[in-house]
Amino acid sequence: MSDTNNNPTQAELDAIEADADAFLDAADAAEGIDPSVLDQVAAERDEWKDRALRVAAEMENLKRRSETQQNDARAFAIQRFAKDLLPVADSLQRALQAAPKDSEGPAAALVAGLELVEKALQGAFASNNLKQVAPGPGEAFDPHLHDAMMEQPSDTVPGGAVLQTMQAGYELFGRTIRPAMVVVAAKGSGPKPGQTPYGDAPAANGEAYDGKA
């Protein structure tokens, strides 16, 4: 069986030879290029690359500014409505705090209903990025989120830290719309040397007295 079909034709050979000649001519031309021209081309390439990076950075900054503006617009739209609802949340919390913990029958059902309403309201707040600020004892005082109403000495909380939250605060998209009213531990507060945070004292028989008991 003949394998003449696998042999390249004269036209294909001519095309290969032409490509080879073109490659050699390009190589010869490259050898004759002034190095200063190559440096100029490289400099222009670096300049365009730098411009592309700058444009990409500007687009990223524009995206961030757009997101910030959108959040500001949303916050402005619901801020007044949110402030009007805060007294409702405060009233629910005060009602729950005043409710008897050992209630039974209809009173227990009423307390459970109030808890469900308060939970639903806080869930609605959270879904709209309205977050409650209620620092616990010992948390650091943040002047951007907390409003110190008074100072009290404490044997358990270090001075300057939050001792108690009197009224919860709220922030909307990271902006404080009402600071939390807190009691701050007075300067010099905190456990004394050799004293536990609960104020344990040695008992008469030499054993440690449990101040939590």
Identify whether the C-beta of residue 102 lies closer than 8 Å to the C-beta of residue 122.
no
Could you tell me the two tokens for 84? Answer: 């009007």
Q: β-pairing, 180-185 with 162-167?
A: antiparallel
Q: What is the pLDDT of residue 212?
A: 42
- The whole-angstrom separation of Cα 184 and Cα 137 is 9
- The whole-angstrom separation of Cα 184 and Cα 149 is 8
Q: What is the pLDDT of residue 206?
A: 43
Q: Which of 186, 71, 98, 89 is nearest to 133 (CA)?
A: 89
- The whole-angstrom separation of Cα 54 and Cα 43 is 16
Q: What is the pLDDT of residue 203?
A: 44
pLDDT per residue of the chain (213 residues) written in tens, 0 to 9: 444 455 666 777 677 777 766 766 666 566 556 667 667 777 888 888 888 888 888 899 998 888 888 877 877 778 888 888 899 999 998 888 888 878 788 888 888 898 999 999 999 998 888 899 999 999 999 999 999 999 999 988 998 999 999 999 999 888 899 999 999 999 888 777 766 554 544 444 444 434 443
Q: What is the pLDDT of residue 43?
A: 81
User: What are the helix (H) ranges across the chain?
Assistant: 10-31, 35-98, 106-127
Kindly report the number of other CB atoms within 10 A of residue 110's CB atom.
13
- The whole-angstrom separation of Cα 77 and Cα 108 is 38
